[in-house]
Structures are given as structure tokens and as C-alpha cells.
Homo-oligomer: A and B are copies of this chain.
């Protein structure tokens, strides 16, 4: 983070570089980074022909969905932004008020679980896979509006069993971790 002000040309160059390095940075985060208003960021993106975050995520996700073998695109909870079959996968989920407990405004656990489980399935290089066992921990309550990033890693493959670890973070803080054993059938 920096509160330095840049010239317009300078800022737009840095903005472009920033988005290339981290395609999932929000306009709000860019505001803070460059110490300018959100309108300025939007105009900069327009000038540079860089689509808004949602569009960028969708573009990246489109390519990844094609690689998934086990489940359908619509069955993945969140947007799939990276996938190497049998190795690793990343997805993003923008939480909203439809996902929370009324009483606490905390995101219901099974949405987070579904994000993790569906990513664990997507990363498997098999026609059909089902979850056998799972061991999960919710570490920090997630609030409506927070952006979840899930990272799955295939840690071991033994015959038809796939061991997958999934970690979910909000702004680098881990909120959930799950260990899954999936079985290809």
C-alpha cells in the first residue's frame, strides 16, 4: 500500500501492471493502493480497456471450466479461476446477503463447505468422483460481502482414492480448511 499520488500516465501504467499481477484485485483495493477515487479507477480501466473484476473473473473461469471432468460448470460453487487436473485449483466466491443466517449475518457453513467440496471434485482427473470422507474446520466466521478464495491441492493419489486439501481465505486470513478423500467410480 502507498499513499503516494502518481501522474495520470504513471498511475495508468502501474494500474495495468497491478491488474496483470493480480487479476482479481477489486476496484476498491485499487482505490486504496493509488489513493484516488473509485471513479478515477473506473475511468482508468475504461481508458486501458480493462474490463471490470466480474468480467475478468468470468473470462479466466471460462477457460478452466473446459478442463473439468468430474462435474458440470454449474455444479462448482464459485468461479473457477485456476485448474491443473490432479494438482491444484483455485476458485473465488463473492458472498452476499442471501447466504447468511438471519440472526447473525454470518455466512452459513454449508455454502463454504459446498465451495470447498465442489473445488475438491473439480480438481480430480476422473470421469466421476464422489466424496468419501471429509474433515473440516471453520476457523473464522465469514460475513456477507466478503470474497472467499479457495485453494485446493491434491496431496496424494492412491488407486481410486484422491486426497485433497482445501484452504479458504478472506484477504489472506484463513477462514476454513478441509481435508477430503474422494473416490473415482
Q: B-contacting residues of A (Cβ < 8 Å)?
A: 70-72, 75, 77, 101-104, 106, 108-110, 113-114, 117-118, 127-128, 130-138, 141, 185
Contacts and interface: CB of A to CB of B under 8 A. Distances in A.
Nearest to A133: B137
Given A134-B136, A135-B135, A136-B133, A104 B117 contact: no
Given A72-B101, A101-B75, A103-B72, A118 B128 contact: no
B131 A109 contact: yes
Contact of A128 (B103, B109, B134): B103
A96 to B, nearest CB: 16
In the complex, the count of this chain's copies comes to 2
Contacts of A103: 70-72, 127-128
Nearest to A181: B137
5 contacts: A72-B102, A72-B103, A130-B141, A134-B135, A134-B136
A102 to B, nearest CB: 5
A138 B128 contact: no
Contact of A132 (B117, B135, B138): B138
B131 A104 contact: no
Contacts of A106: 130
Contact of A117 (B70, B72, B109, B117): B109
